[in-house]
Amino acid sequence: MPWPILPLASVSWLSWLGGVWAAYALALAAWIVLQKRPPVATLAWILVLSLTPVVGLAVYAYFGPQRVQRQRLKRWHYRASLLSQHDWQALRGQQAEPPAWALQHARLIERCCGLPMSACHSARLLGSGGQALQALLQAIGQARAHIHLEYYIFRPDETGQTVLRALAARAREGVAVRLLVDAIGSFSLYARRSRCQALQELLAAGGELALFHPARLDRFRPLVNLRTHRKLVVCDGRVGFIGGVNITDEENENVCGERAWRDTHLELRGAAVRWLQYVFLQDWAYASGKTPSAHSGDTLFGAPSGLARLAADPSGQPAQIPAQVPVQIVASGPDTDGEAILRAMVDAIGLARERIWLATPYFVPTEETLFALTSAALRGVQVKLMVPACGDSRLTSAAARSYFDELQRAGVLIFEYTAAMFHAKTLLVDDRYGMVGSANFDNRSFRLNFEAAAVVLDEAFNAELAAMFTRDLSLCRRVPARRQLSFSQRLLEATARLFSRVL
């Protein structure tokens, strides 16, 4: 009688399959719980991976939480810190005291990322990619010892080749040139390196090129996250650049005209540049396995004679030291738990008494930042948010708009920039606090990427930052308090919001 046997076999097969699935789900849950992620994210990943074993694992491989091998990275950081006593004294020298109102804020940043309050005798806003390129080329042309560059996007287009040719010219004169680019963001440069004559000229002249996290398998999955999103340049340890401008025609109005992305960069001159140098050296040592040493009799962290030489004119004659502007470099990345930029932004928002003006191309707030912004608006602070009207990612734009109603109910004013793609990343608090950097207002920048920013505590500088924000407002449309959305639009925004942690 074969009929009784078939049901028993089916029951046995289903029981065996259920046991395997239960063991898989329990092992998976234990593995994810031990990572000590936020509870909501932990439960979400457990559900996704348990209910969709094959598809879920594929999604996790690309978008799941990834961590740098911390001990390996710490060893590279230690190696990068093996400086001469003279260099260390130069790095620690000329530290500045923050204003009394910012003392605890500066301490917070230092404890999160190890970078103390410093100062510059010049902090200049650069309001476009073309302006930033012009200032960069000028600094490259004046460099005498070394030029260090770190970029997320460095393309071998007209803008990129202009910079590469300028670097090659300095390398032929004996200047040490080190270019660090992200393997994914700058894939086109690396992929075409053999066909890019300007890059070949730089390498032939002695310049060095390193890739940050090549897109290869890491523990059987690709490193899609953990990118260096920083845009840093340091020339001779005295002139530094930081902000949101990449090396690409898209951000150069001299090439693309009115279609060029609107972006903001910052040129620093003075002691704070040494900390930009320190951040670069850590990344360079980690990515290349090399620790740069002093070159051409100069130090990596400024001139031996201190601040007076930092203020010298191009002829080398000492100049009168201008008034100092308090500047603190903030660096964050998934190699530490400090989350320095996230904490700095939340704390700065909490310091606001009159206004918070935030500009960002990708606005996908975390619970902490959303709560901070709405709380500030509810206590009577003027909160203005500027985002692009048409971003370069439809999914990210939809996720951003899913928060608009909640923000506006709290009193936040939202503006969409309509002239071009908006890529500036700035924060202005009252009249005395400004931040310019590479970090977007999203979880990816706060926790998954390596980012850097500069905090400037100077009323004159922040008056310029406020004027720049006001000019941009003239090219914006205000988001209405009551948005009329179709069902499909509401569904798209709600769905996109589910992916907020990985956008």
Q: What's the per-residue H, E or C state across 141-192?
A: HHCCCEEEEEECCECCCHHHHHHHHHHHHHHHCCCEEEEEEECCCCHHHHHC
Bridge partners of 429, per DSSP, are 356, 433
Query: Half-sphere exposure of residue 340, counting CA atoms within 13 Å on the CB side?
Result: 29
113/282 Cα distance (integer angstroms): 12
CATH number of this structure's domain 70-95+122-322: 3.30.870.10
Which amino acid, one-letter code, is at 385?
L
| CA neighbor of 440 nearest in space, from 387, 497, 496, 367 | 387
| CA neighbor of 173 nearest in space, from 298, 300, 296, 13 | 296
46/61 Cα distance (integer angstroms): 14
Residue 283 annotated among the catalytic residues of the structure:
no
3-state secondary structure of 349: helix
Structure confidence at residue 84 (pLDDT):
58
Residue 213 annotated among the catalytic residues of the structure:
no
Cα 74 to Cα 182, 285, 336: the distances in Å are 20, 11, 10
Annotated catalytic residue within 236, 249, 335, 472: 236
Token pair for 361: 């191309």
What's the average model confidence in pLDDT over 475-489? 89
150/179 Cα distance (integer angstroms): 6
Structure confidence at residue 312 (pLDDT):
35
Residue 423 annotated among the catalytic residues of the structure:
yes
Whole-number percent of the chain with pLDDT over 90: 58
pLDDT tens digits along 258-308: 999 999 999 999 999 999 998 998 899 888 888 776 544 445 665 443 333
Computed over its alpha carbons, how large is the radius of gyration of the chain? 25
Structure confidence at residue 320 (pLDDT):
44
Do domains 70-95+122-322 and 340-502 share one topology? The answer is yes
Flag whether pLDDT at 171 surpasses 80: yes
Name the residue with higher pLDDT: 497 or 48.
497
- DSSP letters, 186-233, are THHHHHTTTT-HHHHHHHHTT-EEEEES-SSBSSSSB--S--B---EE
Q: Are strands 176-182 and 146-151 parallel, antiparallel or unpaired?
A: parallel
pLDDT tens digits along 65-96: 555 555 455 545 655 555 555 666 666 666 77
Structure confidence at residue 220 (pLDDT):
39
Name the residue with higher pLDDT: 156 or 299.
156
Mean pLDDT of the chain: 84
383/336 Cα distance (integer angstroms): 30
Confidence tier at 103 by pLDDT (50, 70, 90): very high
What's the average model confidence in pLDDT over 471-496? 88
Name the residue with higher pLDDT: 39 or 357.
357
Structure confidence at residue 217 (pLDDT):
41
CATH number of this structure's domain 340-502: 3.30.870.10
What's the average model confidence in pLDDT over 334-349? 93
Annotated catalytic residue within 77, 121, 229, 265: 229
Residue 458 annotated among the catalytic residues of the structure:
no
Question: Which sign does the torsion angle of CA 297, 301, 304, 305 carry?
Answer: positive
Confidence tier at 313 by pLDDT (50, 70, 90): very low
For 351, residues 6+ apart whose C-beta sits below 8 A from its C-beta are 101, 102, 105, 429, 430, 433
Name the residue with higher pLDDT: 24 or 221.
24
Confidence tier at 10 by pLDDT (50, 70, 90): low
252/264 Cα distance (integer angstroms): 12
Bridge partners of 176, per DSSP, are 146
For 59, residues 6+ apart whose C-beta sits below 8 A from its C-beta are 48, 52
Structure confidence at residue 218 (pLDDT):
42
3-state secondary structure of 300: coil
Whole-number percent of the chain with pLDDT over 70: 78
- DSSP letters, 410-479, are HT-EEEEE-SS-B---EEEETTTEEEEES--EEHIIIIISBEEEEEE--HHHHHHHHHHHHHHHTTEEEP
For 92, residues 6+ apart whose C-beta sits below 8 A from its C-beta are none
Annotated catalytic residue within 87, 249, 430, 472: 430
Bridge partners of 428, per DSSP, are 357, 434
Element (H, E) at 80: helix 70-80
**Which residue is it, tokens 């620093």?**
268
What's the average model confidence in pLDDT over 45-69? 63
Structure confidence at residue 487 (pLDDT):
87
438/341 Cα distance (integer angstroms): 10
212/181 Cα distance (integer angstroms): 6
Token pair for 7: 């049901």
Structure confidence at residue 190 (pLDDT):
86
pLDDT tens digits along 179-225: 999 999 999 998 888 789 999 999 999 999 999 988 654 443 445 67
Residue 425 annotated among the catalytic residues of the structure:
yes
Question: Which sign does the torsion angle of CA 281, 287, 291, 294 carry?
Answer: negative
Annotated catalytic residue within 425, 442, 458, 472: 425
Domain ranges of the chain: 5-63, 70-95+122-322, 340-502
**Local structure of residue 127 (DSSP, 8 states):** -
Please write down the long-range contacts of 162-166, taking CB distance under 8 Å and 24 or more positions apart. 162/133, 162/137, 163/133, 163/136, 163/137, 163/247, 164/196, 164/198, 164/199, 164/201, 164/202, 165/198, 165/201, 166/137, 166/140, 166/141
199/207 Cα distance (integer angstroms): 9
Structure confidence at residue 490 (pLDDT):
85
Bridge partners of 177, per DSSP, are 147
Give the full edge-to-edge strand order of the sheet including 239-243.
Answer: 122-126, 265-269, 239-243, 232-235, 146-151, 176-182, 208-212
Structure confidence at residue 303 (pLDDT):
47
Structure confidence at residue 403 (pLDDT):
94
Flag whether pLDDT at 377 surpasses 80: yes
Annotated catalytic residue within 77, 148, 231, 384: 231
pLDDT tens digits along 418-430: 999 999 999 999 9
For 463, residues 6+ apart whose C-beta sits below 8 A from its C-beta are 431
